[in-house]
Amino acid sequence: MTAIPVPRTDYVTRAAARRRRNALAATAVLIVIAVFWASPVLILVGTAVKTAADFNAHGATSWPKSLTFANFRAAWDVGQFGTSFVNSGLVTLVKVPIGVFLAALMSYSLAKLKINLRRSILFLMLLGLTVPIFIAVVPIFTMLRQVGLIDNIWGLLPPYLAFGLPFEVLILTAFFKRIPQEVIESARIDGASELKIFVRIVLPLSLPVLITVAILDAVATWNELVMALVLLSSPGHRTVPLSLLNFQGQFTTNFPALCAGILIALLPILVAYGFLQRWIVSGLTAGAVKG
């Protein structure tokens, strides 16, 4: 760990060995905890690759006797997960960039530009963090019915944008606040317009935090249930949570297929989490600890 050379006396090596032993023991304990913590997902995987006969004979927690992918094929055919991946993917891909951009514009204004009622606007926006989405479902439902956007995935866009803004503004305002004023002033003296400063200087400077906010927002959008449940009805328009909800009623006895279907539905988010977890972890801690 340390770069400072230490005279290797017997005492030091023994202390180092003891520290190493303690660290190994602590690691072993934590691995057991982590495996226990992940066990619902591990049992799910174990069951999904089992044959029905194996499952009926040995239950969920035994080691699979042989591997089969038949359950995945059965679940895929019934669950229509492909359609729901496309729907959730489209909504997320459109919603997240627009939401983050709108939030970034506002946050930059609140953090760096002259604006009256600065604190009142921020207070009003952050109050949205506390508002449960079910307060809006009835009016949103009637509003969208008037314009014929019921049972249309694009009807999700307006409420998702509005309910995503408070969190995005919280994180982005805190970040923009820390950009040195001189960077912006010097661009202003060079005659750059406010929009140009924002697009050419502020956004590139903020790329890491923008990506973090986008990832967290994408996870929330992908997983949202209440609004989708109220607005969408036909099978072809289901998002991932809706297809899961529908799917769990289809396999009430064939548990290996049920597990395979759940696993299929969770796979995109699990894979994304595997790749992006560093951004998620750093974003959550930075946003909450700073703010």
Of residues 177-216, which lie at the interface with other proteins (CB under 8 A)?
A: 177, 188-189, 194, 198
State which of residues 209, 244, 257, 260 lies at the interface with other proteins (CB under 8 A): 244
Residue with tokens 């229509």: 80
Residue with tokens 């997960």: 81
| Nearest distance in Å: CB 207, other proteins | 19
How many C-beta neighbours within 10 Å does residue 161 have? 18
| Nearest distance in Å: CB 17, other proteins | 13
State which of residues 76, 80, 225, 279 lies at the interface with other proteins (CB under 8 A): 225
State which of residues 111, 184, 187, 214 lies at the interface with other proteins (CB under 8 A): 111
Window 78 to 107, contacts with other proteins (CB under 8 A): 102-103, 105-106
State which of residues 91, 165, 184, 187 lies at the interface with other proteins (CB under 8 A): 165
- Closer of 211 and 229 to other proteins (Cβ): 229
Q: How many residues bind other proteins (CB under 8 A)?
A: 105
What whole-number distance in Å separates Cα of residue 215 and Cα of residue 97?
10
Q: Residue 272 in contact with residue 156, Cβ under 8 Å?
A: no
Q: What is the largest CA-CA distance in the chain?
A: 82
State which of residues 75, 91, 110, 184 lies at the interface with other proteins (CB under 8 A): 110
Sequence-separated (6 or more) residues with CB below 8 Å from residue 231: 140, 141, 144, 150, 151, 152, 155, 156
| Cα dihedral across residues 100, 101, 107, 112: positive or negative | positive
Window 122 to 161, contacts with other proteins (CB under 8 A): 122-143, 158-159, 161
